[in-house]
Structure formats: C-alpha cells, structure tokens
C-alpha cells in the first residue's frame, strides 16, 4: 500500500518534480555564486544534485520495482567479489563524508614530528643534536597519535589519506557523470538523427579518440592551468568517446526492434520514443560502462597529481605519492600508503563493474 | 567482390586518415587559442627575467612568431609549418623541436616496443593456457592475478619496484643511465623495471581477452571437427584455436596504444628518468616550452592514427571474411 501511495504522489510527475528541484538548486547556486559570495563551495551543490539524481532515478525506481530490485540483487550477490567491491566503496564513501571531522588537519605542518613511521614499525632517523652539533641516529617508533605515520613535513598520513579519498571519489563521480552525460547525448542524437548529423558527430568522436587520452589531458592542463575543477571538467570533456560509440550502436539496433516500431506506428512522438524507449533501454549498458570507467578517471587524476600537474592546493593521493617518491629511502610508508588506497579503490570498482555487467546481461552465466 | 576493391578501400582509408589528422591539428590550435594565456605570455615568462621592457619584448615576440596577424592567417601558418616539418624552436633546450624529437624518440620507442612484446607474448600464453584449463586452480589463479594486474596503478607499481629492488635490495639503479649503448645487455637490464612497470597492466588485460577469446573459439564447430578427425590436442589448440583467437587480440593491442600505452609510457619515463618523449614533454611543461608540448601531443595522435590505419588494412588482408565496401 505504501508503495502505491508514494508512486501516486511521485510517479507521473517525477521528471517534472526533478526538473523543478534542479532549477531551484541552480537558482540558489547562482545566487550564492554571484550575489551572496560563496557560502557553500560548488562541491556542496554538486552533492545536492547528485543526491537528488540518486533518489529520483536510483532509489525511487528500485523501491517501486522491488521484485526487479531483488532479481538484480540476487544476480549481483552471486558474484562474491562484486559484493566485496561494493562494501569497500560504501566504506570509502563513509570515510569521505565523515572522515574529515574525525581526523587532524591534513595540511598542518609539524616539523619536529616529521617522517614518523606507522604504528608497529620503527625507522632510523638522523636527528640534529644541539648540544654536540652532530647528527645522531635514533630509532623512532610509530605513535598512536599518528597511526599511519607522518610525511616529510610532519603532516598526518591518516588525515591526508582521508582527504585523498574525498578528492578521488569527487573526481571519479563527477568526471564520469559529465562524460557519460555527453556520451549519452552524442550517441542518442547521432543514432536517432542519422544522415549527415550522425556522420559529423561520429567523425568528431573519431578525432577525439585519436588523441592519446593522457597526453591530451596533460596538454589541456598545461594550457588551462591545474585547478581541481578544471581537471574534472577536462577529464569529463575528453572521456565520453567510448560511451558515445556504445550508446550509438545500441540505439541503432534498438531503433529497428519491434516494440519501437509498434510505438511509432501508434503515433508516438520522437521525443516520447527517445525518452520512453531508447534511453531507458541503453541505460543498463551505460551504468556498466560508467562503473568500469570510474577507476580510469580516478587513476588519471592521481597520475596528474603524481607528476606535479594536479591541483597543488588539495591533498590528493597522487600528491602524497609525489612527495613519497622523493623520500623512498628514508620513509617508505609515504609512497606505499596512498598507493594501496588507490589500488584497492580501483580494484573495488573493477569488481563491482564486472558483477553489474554480469547481472545486467541475462545471457551471461554467473 | 569487385576487382581492385581492396585498392579502393586503402585509398579511401588514407583520405579518411588525412581528414582525421587535419581535425586533430585543428583541435590543438583551437585549444591553444582559447587558453587563458597566449603563446606570447608563455614566451615572456621565460624571457622577462632578462629584460627591462616587457612591452617591447611582447611586441617583438608577437612579430617574430606571427602572433600579430589575424587568427585565420595564423591557423594557416600553423598548418603549413607543421606540414613542412618546421615545428618551432624549443627555447628551454635551445634546439629546433624536430632535432629534440630526433634525439629522444628512440628511448620511448625501445620502452614501448619491449613492453608490448613482454605483455603480449606472456599475456596471450597465460590467457590461452587458462582457457584450456578452465575452472581449474590454475585458471582461478590466472584470473585473480589478471584482476590485480589491471587494477594496480602502473606508476605506483614502478615506485614499489624501485623501493624493493633498487632501494632495499640494490639490484638495479634507481635512475636510468643514459650513457649506456642502445644494444647492450646493460641497457636491457636497466629497462627491466620500466618494462615490468609499463607491461603489467597491459599483460593482465591481454590475459583476460585471450582467455575469453579462446573460450569462444573452443566451443566452435571447427574445433569439434578437428578433434573428431583425431588431431592431437596440441595441434587443435596450437593451430586451429590459436589462429582464430589471436585476431581480435591484435586489434586490442593496437587499440591500446591510444588509451593505455602512451599514458603509461609517459609516467614510466618520468619515474625512471628515461629521456624519452614523455620525459621531454614533461620537462617542457615546467619550462613553459609550448612548441615541444604541442609537437609531442601531435606525434602521439599521429602514431595512433597510423597504427589504426595499418591495423585496418592488414586486417582486411589477413581475414577474408571482412568486407571492405
């Protein structure tokens, strides 16, 4: 009963309600940006947008079609690695949201406590002795005050990793969202219009695909400068080509299928066919490709920060790695820890993506 | 099939590749134009320390590089110069860009070639073996390691290799020695860690593709026929399955150049200090030496274009089932 009531209020006007809330959000954002002068950063608005998107087009449909949800969950669950991946991603999200309130300031420099090893390890350090004027080598053990140790400026590793989690997830989600959005539009438009428009869009896709992804990214960052927002935008604006091709080929094969033919012969408008039949039917492959492209995006940002082309004002995993490479012989943990986080995150998204792909593809046997 | 169809196909592909190249060059020009700082600013950032009168330097630089002309004129100059091999002057190294490229391309080439050889030979072998032994322990171990190989960030793997094998064990130098002769065992030894760094991710990918491609082919009728004829399993797998499974993998290996190999080589060269094109571009970025950065980006795109073109043509020639009209 409860489902019926919610879907009555919500159902038919879902898109309208979503667009309305989006407009309100955009209005508040512009007001904040132009008039009140930045009460919240742009990221807060993105989170609100993302939450709305998830509720309207993720949680709500899953809740209404509970039978289908259970079916997908059963199929995904059989993939044990996918469940492990999903749990780790949920853990990361929790760390990204709550972590910064529980850890120290990741930018706080504390030179007397530099190069402290993680708890349970100890490291040799040369310390300058004021009385004798000599360097004396001492064995420094890790302390619980800095459970994962500190870097060469005495910054807390745990706090830096938590901050890096936040940055990586932000970059991964946002850039992928932008790329998927562009790819979806390009693919559907190209398949649906056909003719010269299809030709022009696909030739443009070919040109973009000819650029080596990372070289193009480096080139763009070189020209426009390294701010986190710009890097996200650059990854999003260059990473859509695969999605566009996939969506186009799927939409082309859908266009000649019976149910769309039937809908057309019943007099459905182009708009209805695109939004009601085409997009919902390509969405499952889009979700799979989105999940599988998040790790690539996270790695691209980390690689940029690692070679020193990332945003120098945010503490990302790549930036910590960059610092760690310089002190490999004195403090190995600075390079090891962010790399492990990066590795596990990428692994988790790959596991999850594989599981979702198998769950959405009825032909595959798990 | 018409006679001369293949020839026409090749000509059409060549024209198409030329148009794509034109598009690639145009996009770099547009990006350069809409960027916040003009090329003159970037030049100035290098010269201003040595001059008293920046305004006159800007004027001189703009006149020297034709930046005072209308944009359309500049665009045509850009195209003509690129076509003529006049790729500008690298002021951070005081060399013509083309000379700089000529000195350094070989380092990237050897790294990429060795890594691709390493990754494809090992990856394909493991993949086929794992498919033949499907659902055994060997298969699970291979699949698990290929997952790890795909997910491990290659630049981090490089650092870890340096940490373990160079810093802790002292087996290798932490930095690539440029004084080594190109074709020597010492050079090969110096390239071991970089090749593993760049090759592991690729190898893991090829293992997975080779495995699924082999599995597809193992179910096909011609395999049953071959077995029914009483051919030994060695011949069935080594000849019938292998030849069919290998074709799609070759495309993927060629296609990888754009997405994976160049990005990986760029990072690997930076980590190990190999003076290839990635390293040159990296140094040029921090010196604001933009003719070098553009040229290397364009070279990357052109190599991708040429490999795709070659793959397409060789493929139609290799596989008679592909239609080319």
> Token pair 């190990």 is at which residue?
B272
**pLDDT computed for residue A182 by the predictor:** 92
Contact B163 A328 (CB under 8 A): yes
Chain B contact for A365 (CB, 8 A cutoff): no
Eight-class DSSP state of B168: I
Q: Which residues of A touch B151 (CB under 8 A)?
A: 295, 343, 346-347, 350
Give the distance from residue A336's alpha carbon to the nearest chain B alpha carbon, in angstroms.
7
Beta-carbon contacts below 8 Å between A and B: 129
**Domain residue limits, chain B:** 3-83, 102-286
Give the distance from residue B299's alpha carbon to the nearest chain A alpha carbon, in angstroms.
9
**pLDDT computed for residue A249 by the predictor:** 87
Fold adopted by A80-114+150-360: MetI-like fold (1.10.3720)
The tens place of each residue's pLDDT in chain B, 325 residues long, gives 445 677 788 888 888 888 888 888 888 888 877 777 666 566 666 665 556 666 776 777 677 666 667 778 878 888 888 878 777 777 777 788 888 888 888 888 888 889 989 998 999 889 988 888 888 888 888 888 888 898 899 889 998 998 888 888 878 777 777 777 777 777 778 888 999 999 998 899 889 888 888 888 888 888 888 888 888 888 888 888 888 888 888 878 877 776 678 888 889 998 888 888 888 888 888 877 778 888 888 888 888 888 888 888 877 777 777 665 5
Give the distance from residue B158's alpha carbon to the nearest chain A alpha carbon, in angstroms.
10
Q: How far apart are CA A346 and CA A294, in angstroms?
A: 8
Q: Among partner residues B31, B151, B162, which is closest to A347 by beta-carbon distance?
A: B151
Q: How far apart are CA B157 and CA B193, in angstroms?
A: 10
**pLDDT computed for residue A362 by the predictor:** 57
Contact A203 B20 (CB under 8 A): yes
**pLDDT computed for residue A224 by the predictor:** 84
Give the distance from residue A210's alpha carbon to the nearest chain B alpha carbon, in angstroms.
5
Closest of B308, B78, B250 to residue A206, by C-alpha? B308
Q: Which residues of B touch A347 (CB under 8 A)?
A: 147-148, 151
3-state class of A141 per DSSP?
strand
**pLDDT computed for residue B195 by the predictor:** 92
**Domain residue limits, chain A:** 1-64, 80-114+150-360, 116-148
**pLDDT computed for residue A366 by the predictor:** 39
**pLDDT computed for residue A298 by the predictor:** 92
Contact B27 A224 (CB under 8 A): no
Q: Are A161 and A317 in contact (CB under 8 A)?
A: yes
- Count other C-beta atoms under 10 Å from residue A71's C-beta: 12
Closest of A286, A294, A166, A178 to residue A232, by C-alpha? A178
Give the distance from residue A105's alpha carbon to the nearest chain B alpha carbon, in angstroms.
25
**pLDDT computed for residue A302 by the predictor:** 92
Top residue of B17, B134, B153, B283 to mutate, by most chain A CBs within 10 Å, is B153
Q: Which residues of B touch A306 (CB under 8 A)?
A: 155, 267
DSSP B55-78: HHHHHHHHHHTTTTS-HHHHHHHH
Residue pLDDT, tens place only, B50-69: 566 667 767 776 776 666 67
Contact B258 A307 (CB under 8 A): no
Mean pLDDT per 10-residue interval, chain A, length 366 residues:
53 74 84 71 75 77 78 76 88 86 74 70 68 69 72 79 88 90 89 85 88 88 84 89 88 83 83 80 84 89 89 86 82 86 92 81 53
Q: Among partner residues B24, B155, B159, which is closest to A211 by beta-carbon distance?
A: B24
**pLDDT computed for residue B51 by the predictor:** 61
Residue B276, token pair as written in the block: 């290839």
Top residue of B30, B140, B155 to mutate, by most chain A CBs within 10 Å, is B155
Q: How far is C-alpha B204 from the chain's CA centre?
A: 17
DSSP A197-239: HHHHHHHHHHHHHHS-HHHHHHHHHHHH---HHHHHHHHHHHS
Let me know if domain B102-286 sits in CATH 1.10.580.10. no
Chain A residue closest in CA terms to B277: A215
Report the run of H or E that residue A101 belongs to, with start and end: helix A80-102
Pairing between β-strand A135-141 and β-strand A122-128 as defined by DSSP bridges:
antiparallel
Chain B residue closest in CA terms to A213: B259
Q: Among partner residues A220, A325, A347, which is closest to B31 by beta-carbon distance?
A: A220
Q: How far does chain A reach from its first CA to its final CA, in angstroms?
A: 35
Report the run of H or E that residue B90 belongs to, with start and end: strand B89-90
Q: Among partner residues B35, B151, B263, which is closest to A223 by beta-carbon distance?
A: B35
**pLDDT computed for residue A179 by the predictor:** 92
Contact B151 A343 (CB under 8 A): yes
Q: Which residues of A touch B156 (CB under 8 A)?
A: 321, 335, 339, 342-343
**A364: burial class by Cβ within 10 Å (0-12, 13-18, 19+)?**
exposed
Q: How far apart are CA A60 and CA B47, in angstroms?
A: 60
Contact A210 B304 (CB under 8 A): yes
For chain A positions 174-213, those within 8 Å of chain B (CB to CB) are: 203-204, 206-213
**pLDDT computed for residue A365 by the predictor:** 47
Contact A295 B31 (CB under 8 A): no
Closest of B35, B320, B186 to residue A226, by C-alpha? B35
Q: Which residues of A touch B295 (CB under 8 A)?
A: none
Contact A210 B32 (CB under 8 A): no
pTM comes to 0.84
Residue B202, token pair as written in the block: 């690729």
């Amino acid at each position: 009963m409860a489902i019926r009531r919610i879907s009555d209020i919500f159902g038919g006007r879902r898109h309208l309600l979503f667009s309305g809330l989006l407009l309100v959000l955009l209005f508040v954002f512009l007001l904040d940006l132009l008039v009140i002068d930045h009460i919240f950063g742009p990221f807060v608005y993105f989170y609100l947008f993302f939450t709305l998107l998830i509720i309207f087009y993720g949680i709500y449909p899953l809740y209404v079609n509970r039978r289908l949800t259970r079916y997908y969950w059963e199929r995904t669950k059989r993939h044990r690695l996918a469940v492990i991946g999903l749990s780790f991603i949920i853990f990361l999200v929790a760390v990204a949201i709550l972590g910064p309130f529980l850890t120290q300031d990741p930018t706080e420099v504390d030179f007397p406590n530099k190069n402290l090893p993680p708890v349970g390890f100890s490291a040799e350090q040369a310390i300058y002795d004021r009385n004798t004027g000599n360097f004396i080598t001492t064995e420094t053990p890790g302390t619980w005050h800095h459970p994962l140790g500190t870097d060469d400026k005495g910054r807390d590793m745990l706090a830096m990793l938590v901050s890096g989690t936040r940055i990586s997830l932000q970059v991964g989600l946002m850039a992928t969202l932008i790329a998927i959005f562009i790819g979806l539009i390009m693919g559907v438009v190209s398949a649906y219009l056909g003719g010269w428009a299809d030709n022009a869009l696909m030739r443009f896709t070919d040109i973009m695909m000819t650029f080596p992804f990372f070289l193009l990214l480096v080139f763009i960052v070189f020209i426009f400068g390294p701010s986190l927002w710009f890097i996200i935008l650059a990854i999003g604006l260059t990473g859509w080509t695969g999605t566009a091709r996939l969506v186009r080929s799927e939409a082309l094969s859908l266009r000649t299928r019976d149910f769309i033919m039937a809908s057309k012969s019943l007099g459905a408008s182009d708009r209805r066919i695109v939004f009601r039949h085409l997009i919902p039917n390509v969405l499952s492959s889009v979700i799979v490709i989105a999940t599988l492209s998040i790790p690539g995006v996270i790695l691209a940002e980390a690689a940029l920060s690692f070679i020193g082309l990332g945003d120098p004002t945010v503490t990302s995993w790549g930036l910590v790695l960059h610092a760690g490479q310089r002190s490999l012989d004195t403090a190995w943990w600075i390079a090891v820890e962010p790399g492990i986080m990066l590795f596990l995150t990428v692994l988790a998204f790959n596991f999850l993506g594989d599981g979702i792909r198998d769950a959405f593809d009825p032909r595959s046997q798990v | 099939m018409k006679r001369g169809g293949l020839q026409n196909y090749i000509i059409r592909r060549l024209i198409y590749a030329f148009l794509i190249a034109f598009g690639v060059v145009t996009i770099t020009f547009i990006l350069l134009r809409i960027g916040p700082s003009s090329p003159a600013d970037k030049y100035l950032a290098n010269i201003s320390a040595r001059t008293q009168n920046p305004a006159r330097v800007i004027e001189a630089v703009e006149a020297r590089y034709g930046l005072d002309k209308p944009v359309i004129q500049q665009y045509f100059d850009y195209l003509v110069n690129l076509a003529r091999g006049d790729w500008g002057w690298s002021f951070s190294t005081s060399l013509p860009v083309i000379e700089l490229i000529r000195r350094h391309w070989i380092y990237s080439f050897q790294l990429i070639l060795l890594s691709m050889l390493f990754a494809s030979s090992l990856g394909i072998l493991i993949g086929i073996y794992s498919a033949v032994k499907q659902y055994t322990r060997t298969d699970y171990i291979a699949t698990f390691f290929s997952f790890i190989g795909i997910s491990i960030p290659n630049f981090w793997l490089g650092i870890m290799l340096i940490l373990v094998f160079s810093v802790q064990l002292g087996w290798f130098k932490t930095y690539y020695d440029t004084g080594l002769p190109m074709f020597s065992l010492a050079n090969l030894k110096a390239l071991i860690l970089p090749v593993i760094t760049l090759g592991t991710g690729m190898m893991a990918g090829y293992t997975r593709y080779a495995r699924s491609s082999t599995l597809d082919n193992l179910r096909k009728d011609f395999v049953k026929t071959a077995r029914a004829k009483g051919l030994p399993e060695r011949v069935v797998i080594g000849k019938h399955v292998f030849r069919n499974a290998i074709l799609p993998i070759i495309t993927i290996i060629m296609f990888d150049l754009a997405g994976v190999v160049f990005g990986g080589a760029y990072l690997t060269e930076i980590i190990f200090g190999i003076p290839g094109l990635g390293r040159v571009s990296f140094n040029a970025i921090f010196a604001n030496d933009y003719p070098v950065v553009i040229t290397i980006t364009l070279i990357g795109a052109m190599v991708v274009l040429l490999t795709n073109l070659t793959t397409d043509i060789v493929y139609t020639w290799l596989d008679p089932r592909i239609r080319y009209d």
